[in-house]
Structure 1
């Protein structure tokens, strides 16, 4: 079968090659992948910016497909089911944080950017009926990250004023949709005005261009302050975000694309009783609840573009540019 592997054999650092998955484990199923979604971690692996990188590994953490074979210990009821996959492995039983055994499929183990994948049956969930395969492929990793940030850590409630930064990325666009369905008043930031227009179509109250030097003043005036901010950039924007929170507000961080902050106004943090909370993906419980929530509210991931397997490099290059509005999908069927 063909898969997109990490390699040092060419300047692109990825290649579509024939890969042998080996024997199917007794507790595993074989899924024929119809579509897989790119995440930033795939591009970071390509750039050598991710831990435990190994050449020859099939990249990809998100996918949707059909079960075509089951291991000896797996119920045959799974055969023919259309499924999505929870890429998180080894979270453990502690809901507050992942275990030391936690890892994500797609590095250092084979992932979803291939025509088939072997995966433990307990990682499967039935694909939501209202989603096609491309939409479903864009849900798992981003969906569980957004859900955990908003509900487990953010404890979002109806009427809360929520700011979600970087609208257009996989997590942020799903976080906006999920928060809106929870009854929150949602605001967003983006670097591109066209993305804000998309946000308004979903019911976002107001959006701000984060390149504008006075965007934070605009946001404070429009909102009066936020109960919750969900952010993935950090860097020196941290000291811009903290003053936007009301006393007792929460800042939930799921990434640090701009690196570490050079300073933090800790006096404001302790005086205003601000919570700064880190988060990453989610537990099996979070994943199950996220899929149930998506099913009930008919939430659909925004799809930016769909590429054939042969155009994998172009898809990765678009991820690198960071201009996408929603998920970048590679069709494998």
Structure 2
């Protein structure tokens, strides 16, 4: 089969479109003929060697949708089923935190930048009928991360004010859609006025360009204080989230795309009685609840651009540029 393989680190240009052996599913595994895959920032980090436990060569890609090509199961999974993949492997029995054996599809195990992928049968779910294959492929990693951040860890409530910095990524946009569906008021930041306007079209009440002087003051005048902030940015702007938080508010962090957070004075934390929580990915229960919530509210991913599988390196470079608004996908098989 054809696949995109990372043989050595050095950035997206190290990705190679090549012939590899078609995977053979073991007992309890299912072979998926992939229709679409989608990109995540994790994939780009891996190409640069900026991810723990890198083992190469590896076929990248956590997210994918397609049809069941082979299965030894007779418990409701059959050949030809239209499915999407939960890329979180070996979460474990504790819904509150993943096990030490937890890993994500697409390194070290081969992932979805390929014509076929094998996964444990418990990691496949029937594709919601209202979604296209491309839309379904765009959901898994980003949508479950956003759902766990906003709902499971953030405990968002109707009428609350939610702040989402750095709008435009898949997780941030899903967080916006989830918070809105829960009845919250959502405000956003971005370094792009265009992205702010697009987010407002999706339901954000308003937003501020963080590159402009006095943006924190403008944001405070606009929204007041935040009951909940959903952050994947980190860096120096994390301090602004503490300043903008309402006393008794919550900050949930799932990433640090701009680097580490500088040291801060603890009084800013304890005088406001703030809750600061970390999260990543989600449990199987989170994934099932996310799919049910999305289906109930007919939430669709925001799609930016699609590339053919063989242009995966170009797609990753586009993601690295930061120009995208929404999910970037790979078309693998147009015949299904």
Query: Which is worse superposed, 276-285 or 207-216?
Result: 207-216
Q: Does the aligned pair in 2 maintain the 1:239–1:265 contact within 8 Å?
A: no
Distance 1:210 1:10 in 2: 31
Distance verdict in 2 for CA 1:125–1:9, change over 3 Å: closer
Instruction: Return 2-11 or 126-135, whichever deviates more.
Output: 2-11
Partner of 2:59: 58
RMSD: 1.4
2:181 alignment partner in structure 1 = 181
Separation of aligned partners in 1, 2:136 and 2:289: 16
Matches within 5 A, 1:122-137: 122-137=122-137
Correspondence 1:13 to 2:14: yes
Assess if the C-alpha contact under 8 Å between 1:235 and 1:258 holds in 2: yes
Residue 246 of structure 1 aligns with which residue?
246
Q: The residue matched to 1:235 in structure 2 has which SS?
A: coil
Quote how far apart the aligned CAs of 1:213 are. Answer: 2.5
The 8 Å contact of residues 70 and 76 in structure 1, kept in 2 or not, is answered as no
TM-score in terms of structure 2 length? 0.96
* Distance (Å, rounded) in 2 between the aligned partners of 1:130 and 1:56: 36
Q: Which runs of 5+ in 2 are unaligned?
A: none
Q: TM-score, normalised by structure 1?
A: 0.97
User: Structure 1: 5+ residue runs without aligned partners?
Assistant: none
Post-superposition shift, 1:75? 3.6
Size of the aligned set, in residue pairs, is 332
> Residue 70 of structure 1 aligns with which residue?
71
CA distance in 2, matches of 1:54, 1:260: 25
Equivalent in the alignment of 2:290: 290
Answer yes or no: is the 8 Å Cα contact 2:9–2:47 preserved in 1: no
Which residue of 2 is the match for residue 276 of structure 1? 276
SS of equivalent to 1:142: helix
Counterpart for residue 34 of structure 1: 35
Partner Cα distance (1:267, 1:158) in 2 = 29
Partner of 1:263: 263
State the 4+ residue runs in structure 1 displaced beyond 2 angstroms: 8-11, 73-78
Is the Cα contact below 8 Å between 2:23 and 2:116 reproduced in 1? Answer: no
The match for 2:231 is: 231
Match of 1:217 in 2: 217
Q: Deviations over 1:127-152 (max 9, x none)?
A: 11111111111100000000000111
SS of the aligned residue for 2:128 comes to coil
Contact 2:67/2:83 (<8 A) preserved: yes
CA contact (8 A) 2:24 2:31 kept: no
